[in-house]
Chain A
Amino acid sequence: MADVAEGGEASATKDDTAGDNAGDGANAVPPTPPTPAQRELPETEAYSHLLVLLLLLDANDPECKAASVAALNRLSQFNRRTLDALQARIVFYYSLAHERFGELAEVRPSLLALHRVAALRFDEMGQETILNLLMRNYLHYNMYDQAEKLRSKAQLPASRSNQQQCRYLYYLGRIRAIQLEYSDAKECLTQAHRKAPKLAKGFALELTKWITVVRLLLGEIPEKKDLTTAVSGGAAAQRALLPYLELTGAVRLGDLEKFRAVQEAHEAAFRADKTTNLVTRLRRNVIRTGLRRVSLAYSAISLDDVAQKLGLGEGDGDVEFVVAKAIRDGGIDATIDHDARTMHSSDATDVYSTGEPQAAFHARIAFCLDTHNEAVKAMRYPDKVKKGKGDGERKSAKDRDLEELAMHIMDEDEMDEF
């Protein structure tokens, strides 16, 4: 705990700005009245700033912006490691306050500056929080390029809290999805989903939407129960997922007409979720699935019938190319007879004579090993308790437990607001 810059000047200004606030905050938490020395602590002041900020935010008061700016200005006068955790929290609400009132772009420069300071001071909590805020900021304005550049250049602190890691993975997953790296995106998003606290229902819902689209883009079909009964959050969440459920249905059937109808009916929903462009990209997957069904069902079929079954436009000979491309990409196993205008499906080969089962087996083993490793990494061990004397030690341990509990509840709450 190096109090580097806690000079006389800092504590002098403290008294006249927020002396009375400090009193309130201090009274609310510990049961014993604070000693004058405790009253003087900048941590007490920061904490009361935080409480005021929370109160204003809950009341949706536009004043919260000014309050958050004041709090940050005040905190910038100190350089104490003990303040880092509180400052990270305050920065979070600073960004949230501005987001609520649609001024997110304006806080970007100051967030960048704060991130720089946090990195210089090895303030890990600050770094991870602010990096996530910046990514959120960029993605809010669809600036995927900038977000990716920042992410790849910024150093990640060694130890990170679970909540911040979840957010990070969510943003990273979204960037990867836009960049067409769907497997990476799926991995990030599912990990975030697994790690997210159970209470963060809004966050989980958001993730489910993205995971659904990404899996569809990968050519996988999510299970129906993932989008209906297995969703936590009850009827409201299921209603929110309805567009994605219908979308999955359309892709599964390979029916372009239905796909188009779903796309139009839920355009507003997709737009609000920022998945419109991804959904547009699904069109080719719909065609691919439809073709696969046709090629499995018929040993030979005329190209015009294929066009009709898939709902492709009549005439202009595009079917032939679409089929040819699907064959080349390995989507279907067939040949085209140009003169007769037909598609001949090749005989189904024995899948057990190929490397396919082995590959599937490997994918499962890799998943299990990965889960195990993640679980080992996520395990928490209790801090080594310092050897103290009887009564006092037990009390402080109890206090610490309570504090930790309060911290966790706060974290989960915060994720819930997502």
Chain B
Amino acid sequence: MADLASAKKTLDGLVKAYAAGDATKTASLLGTLKVAITAFPALPPLFEQTPTAVEELMLARDVLEHATLFAVSQQDDAAAERNFNQLRPYYSDCAGMIPPSPRQALLTGLNLLRLLVQNRIAEFHTELELIPNEAHDDRHVAFCLDLESSLMEGAYNKIFAASGSIPTPDYAHFMTMLNATVRDEIAACVERGYTRLGVKDAARLLDVDAGGMDALAAERGWARSTDGGAFVFREEAAPPSAKDIPSMRLINQTLLYAKELERIV
């Protein structure tokens, strides 16, 4: 298989280019390699038993792993998702055919993190069920699990702290996005939970500097107190009026009862 040898050489080039951070070269080599691996008969879904099947599978897996990592580093979320989905069968269906990849946990964690950041929690949990229990202790996967539970509980400080302790630099891009989400969450919580809050305290809670605080306050329309040193959130509750009665809903429900009762009688 001449293709295999040349593809291997290209892969070496790709690894070097990726490590050196040469985006244009990496992109072009990835393109060549992805075309090259389409010619391999041993890859999913064909799984032909060629003599070089193991090498072909491992090569393709390496290519796709790099493609995913590269997409993340280029902040191209859609491409990252596509590449990871292509990579998935190599982790699940080929588990018995080739030795496990050293990068598997890293990429699985990356995928979890992406789903978390995009707020696709249902998919996050579906994905989580596929990960065997032993792998939950891996630092990459455990990192995402901790983040998810902190996010759900509201332990936002832990998330800010976690940005400082990411297991690999590959996670940095998603962590930045996650921090932005968290900041929004906190702002929403602050609006409801406090009657008034000092400007400095607010900046500390939100983990932003004074300038960022002003921008955020303007964006969310927070009112300042008369002396300007605090935000005031709680307005006087309006007296209940006839508009508060959910008449449409009540009418609908009553009509439903009437219809159902008629059916019974």
Q: State which size class the interface on B falls in.
A: 35 or more
Select the stretch in B75-83, B123-131, B219-227 that faces chain A. Answer: B123-131
Q: How many residues of A contact B (CB 8 A)?
A: 44
A11 at the interface (CB under 8 A from B): no
Complexed CA–CA distance, A358 and B193 (Å): 27
Across-interface contacts of A322 in B (CB, < 8 A):
153-155
Q: Which listed residue, A179, A276, A334, A335, touches B122 by the CB 8 Å rule?
A: A179
A143 at the interface (CB under 8 A from B): yes
A283-B149, A287-B153, A369-B260 known; A321 vs B189 contact (CB < 8 Å): yes
Interface positions of A from 326 to 371, Cβ below 8 Å from B: 326-328, 334-339, 353, 355, 358, 362, 365, 369
A323 at the interface (CB under 8 A from B): yes
Give the Cβ gap from B237 to chain A, nearest Cβ, in Å. 11
B54 at the interface (CB under 8 A from A): no
B238 at the interface (CB under 8 A from A): no
Q: Which listed residue, A280, A281, A318, touches B155 by the CB 8 Å rule?
A: A318
Q: B29-64 toward A: CB 8 Å interface, digit per residue (1/0)?
A: 000000000000000000000000000000000000
B174 at the interface (CB under 8 A from A): no
Select the stretch in B100-108, B195-203, B208-216 that faces chain A. Answer: B195-203
Residue of A nearest to B128 (CB): A277
Q: Which listed residue, A274, A280, A338, touches B201 by the CB 8 Å rule?
A: A338
A178-B125, A321-B157 known; A328 vs B130 contact (CB < 8 Å): no
A372 at the interface (CB under 8 A from B): yes
A287-B153, A321-B155, A322-B155 known; A144 vs B189 contact (CB < 8 Å): no
Q: Which listed residue, A179, A283, A320, A353, touches B126 by the CB 8 Å rule?
A: A179
Q: B178-199 toward A: CB 8 Å interface, digit per residue (1/0)?
A: 0000000110111111110110
Interface positions of B from 99 to 142, Cβ below 8 Å from A: 121-123, 125-130, 133
A157 at the interface (CB under 8 A from B): no
B234 at the interface (CB under 8 A from A): yes
Give the Cβ gap from B91 to chain A, nearest Cβ, in Å. 13
A180 at the interface (CB under 8 A from B): yes
Give the Cβ gap from A102 to chain B, nearest Cβ, in Å. 14
Interface positions of A from 177 to 191, Cβ below 8 Å from B: 178-181
Q: Which of A280, A283, A338, A339 has the most CB atoms of chain B within a 10 A radius of its CB? A: A338
Asked whether, in the complex, the Cβ of A324 is within 8 Å of the Cβ of B189, the reply is: yes
Asked whether, in the complex, the Cβ of B153 is within 8 Å of the Cβ of A145, the reply is: no
Complexed CA–CA distance, A132 and B128 (Å): 23
Give the Cβ gap from A277 to chain B, nearest Cβ, in Å. 6
Residue of B nearest to A143 (CB): B130
Residue of B nearest to A315 (CB): B157
Give the Cβ gap from B109 to chain A, nearest Cβ, in Å. 16
Complexed CA–CA distance, A353 and B244 (Å): 11
B264 at the interface (CB under 8 A from A): yes
Interface positions of A from 133 to 189, Cβ below 8 Å from B: 142-145, 148, 178-181
Q: Which listed residue, B156, B198, B264, touches A321 by the CB 8 Å rule?
A: B156
Asked whether, in the complex, the Cβ of B194 is within 8 Å of the Cβ of A338, the reply is: yes
Give the Cβ gap from A238 to chain B, nearest Cβ, in Å. 27
Give the Cβ gap from A212 to chain B, nearest Cβ, in Å. 19
Q: Which listed residue, A142, A324, A362, touches B129 by the CB 8 Å rule?
A: A142
Asked whether, in the complex, the Cβ of A283 is within 8 Å of the Cβ of B153, the reply is: yes
Across-interface contacts of B264 in A (CB, < 8 A):
372
Asked whether, in the complex, the Cβ of B155 is within 8 Å of the Cβ of A277, the reply is: no
A224 at the interface (CB under 8 A from B): no
A317 at the interface (CB under 8 A from B): yes
Asked whether, in the complex, the Cβ of A321 is within 8 Å of the Cβ of B186, the reply is: yes
Q: Which listed residue, A180, A337, A372, A373, touches B121 by the CB 8 Å rule?
A: A180
Across-interface contacts of B260 in A (CB, < 8 A):
369, 372-373
Residue of A nearest to B149 (CB): A283
Q: A297-328 toward B: CB 8 Å interface, digit per residue (1/0)?
A: 00000000000000000001110111111111
A81 at the interface (CB under 8 A from B): no
Q: A51-70 toward B: CB 8 Å interface, digit per residue (1/0)?
A: 00000000000000000000
Asked whether, in the complex, the Cβ of A325 is within 8 Å of the Cβ of B189, the reply is: yes
Asked whether, in the complex, the Cβ of B157 is within 8 Å of the Cβ of A318, the reply is: yes
A180-B122, A277-B128 known; A324 vs B193 contact (CB < 8 Å): yes
Across-interface contacts of A335 in B (CB, < 8 A):
193-195, 234
Across-interface contacts of A327 in B (CB, < 8 A):
189, 192-193
Give the Cβ gap from A249 to chain B, nearest Cβ, in Å. 21
Across-interface contacts of A338 in B (CB, < 8 A):
194, 197-198, 201
- Chain A residues engaging chain B, CB cutoff 8 angstroms: 142-145, 148, 178-181, 271, 274, 276-277, 280-281, 283-284, 287, 316-318, 320-328, 334-339, 353, 355, 358, 362, 365, 369, 372-373
Not counting A320-B205, A369-B260, a sample of 7 additional A-B residue pairs whose C-beta atoms are within 8 angstroms of each other reads A142-B130, A145-B126, A181-B122, A274-B129, A280-B149, A318-B156, A353-B240
